[in-house]
């Protein structure tokens, strides 16, 4: 690398629930991978794995797991394996090897797609080009990436075919891990026109960078959702489940493959789902509303206070 720069790979897991991080850390320790927990203020904490050898062990661990990754996560693993191939061959200290490392670096988390002009990765390219006179995306680096692109395209093709034939077998723990990292379970209260009583509502969403949309197809396949709803954002895309029949599939999944960090939300989710099929009385309605207001992360955005909601219940139930 240029004078003053060195290769320092880092793997990180962000999570608000410390139980999840400790469980990940215990697994890493079993494979002699050195890690540390770093506090991140409002975002919770994160596990960090730093250094060539520790990240190499981590990449090898992922590559040898029986549970394989899908979509953009698979592509990133291929990129990291290729980076270590360049390093193992001691080519990263040459001009050509340096070009390969830089080109592969800017492919992480983006997949085999060109950067958009407004993406922050594009700004990163500009900085490298200005400082070192290196053109990111040159033929030297692209030649190395071509084989990875072929692997990725073949991976997508095989996975789509398996889903089409209903033959794709997914490890439930793998799905729980994805939900633990990027999923969100919500239970909230809404007021619909035509109803005097506030309504309890469940929702599940999973958000990923927009280049990783194929993984959302895999998750929808797992939950047997043949009408998935995807919500596009500027730099991300979300898969949202609001249909009660798919909520039941979600609950069945958590009964077999629970997660560490969302247990209170899951219990609330199950409770709200259960009352859809029967009549709710005043005491249960107040109890649920109180639990939602106490545990929901959306408290600050409530348009009605808990007291106002309880007053609505009193009017409806004539309590």
Q: What is the pLDDT of residue 119?
A: 37
- Do the Cβ atoms of 180 and 208 come closer than 8 Å? no
Q: What is the pLDDT of residue 133?
A: 44
**pLDDT tens per residue, range 188-204:** 777 655 555 667 788 88
Max CA-CA distance within the chain?
Answer: 80
Q: What is the pLDDT of residue 197?
A: 64
Q: What is the pLDDT of residue 195?
A: 53
Residue partners of 163: CB distance under 8 A and separation at least 6: 217, 218, 221
The closest of 80, 79, 71 to 209, measured between CA atoms, is 71
CA pair distance 101, 80, nearest whole angstrom: 10
Q: What is the pLDDT of residue 303?
A: 52
Between 172 and 19, residue with greater pLDDT: 172
Q: Confidence class of residue 29 from pLDDT cuts 50, 70 and 90?
A: very high
Please give the model's pTM, rounded to 2 decimal places. 0.73
Q: What is the pLDDT of residue 41?
A: 60
Structural domains present in the chain: 1-65 (3.30.1370), 66-167 (no CATH), 172-317 (3.10.28.10)
**pLDDT tens per residue, range 53-69:** 888 888 888 888 877 88
- pLDDT (mean) for 237-264: 83
Our measurement of the distance from residue 96's CA atom to the centroid of its chain's CA atoms, rounded to an integer in Å, reads 34
CA pair distance 11, 81, nearest whole angstrom: 14
Q: What is the pLDDT of residue 98?
A: 74
Q: What is the pLDDT of residue 223?
A: 94
Average pLDDT, the chain: 74
Between 56 and 108, residue with greater pLDDT: 56
Q: What is the pLDDT of residue 163?
A: 93
The alpha-helical segments, DSSP class H, found in the chain are 18-30, 52-64, 72-88, 95-105, 120-132, 139-164, 172-182, 213-222, 244-256, 263-275, 282-295, 306-317
Between 210 and 172, residue with greater pLDDT: 172
Edge-to-edge strands, sheet with 236-241: 183-190, 199-209, 236-241, 229-232
Between 129 and 177, residue with greater pLDDT: 177
User: Has residue 134 got a pLDDT over 50?
Assistant: no
**pLDDT tens per residue, range 257-304:** 877 666 667 877 888 887 765 567 777 778 778 877 776 544 444 556
Q: Which whole-number Å values give the CA distances from 175 to 59, 181, 319, in the listed order?
A: 20, 10, 44
Q: Which whole-number Å values give the CA distances from 134 to 2, 6, 31, 96, 160, in the listed order?
A: 11, 16, 37, 10, 37
User: Has residue 165 got a pLDDT over 90?
Assistant: yes
**pLDDT tens per residue, range 207-233:** 888 777 888 899 999 999 988 888 888
User: Has residue 100 got a pLDDT over 60?
Assistant: yes
Of 117-121, 138-142, 162-166, where does mean pLDDT reach its minimum? 117-121
CA pair distance 22, 30, nearest whole angstrom: 12
């Amino acid at each position: 690398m240029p004078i003053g720069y060195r290769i320092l790979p880092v793997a990180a897991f962000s999570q608000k629930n410390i139980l999840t991080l400790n469980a990940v850390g215990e697994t890493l320790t079993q494979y002699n991978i050195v890690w540390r927990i770093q506090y991140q203020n409002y975002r919770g904490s994160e596990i960090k794995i730093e250094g060539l050898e520790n990240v190499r062990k981590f990449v090898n661990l992922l590559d040898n797991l029986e549970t394989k990754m899908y979509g953009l996560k698979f592509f990133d693993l291929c990129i990291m394996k290729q980076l270590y191939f360049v390093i193992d061959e001691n080519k990263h200290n040459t001009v050509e090897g340096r070009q390969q490392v830089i080109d592969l670096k800017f492919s992480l988390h983006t997949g085999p797609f060109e950067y958009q002009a407004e993406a922050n990765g594009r700004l990163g390219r500009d900085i490298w080009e200005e400082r070192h006179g290196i053109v990111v995306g040159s033929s030297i680096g692209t030649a190395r990436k071509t084989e990875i692109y072929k692997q990725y395209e073949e991976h997508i093709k095989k996975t789509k075919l398996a889903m089409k034939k209903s033959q794709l077998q997914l490890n439930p723990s793998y799905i729980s891990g994805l939900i633990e990292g990027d999923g969100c379970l919500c239970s909230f209260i809404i007021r619909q026109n035509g109803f005097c009583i506030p309504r309890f509502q469940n929702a599940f969403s999973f958000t990923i960078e927009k280049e990783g949309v194929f993984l959302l197809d895999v998750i929808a396949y797992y939950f047997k959702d043949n009408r998935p709803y995807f919500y596009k954002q500027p730099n991300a895309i979300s898969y949202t489940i609001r249909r009660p029949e798919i909520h039941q599939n979600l609950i069945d999944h958590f009964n077999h493959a629970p997660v560490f960090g969302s247990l209170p939300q899951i219990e609330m989710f199950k409770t709200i789902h259960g009352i859809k099929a029967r009549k709710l009385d005043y005491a249960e309605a107040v109890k649920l509303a109180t639990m939602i207001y106490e545990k929901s992360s959306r408290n600050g955005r409530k348009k009605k206070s808990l007291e106002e909601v309880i007053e609505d219940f009193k009017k409806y139930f004539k309590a």
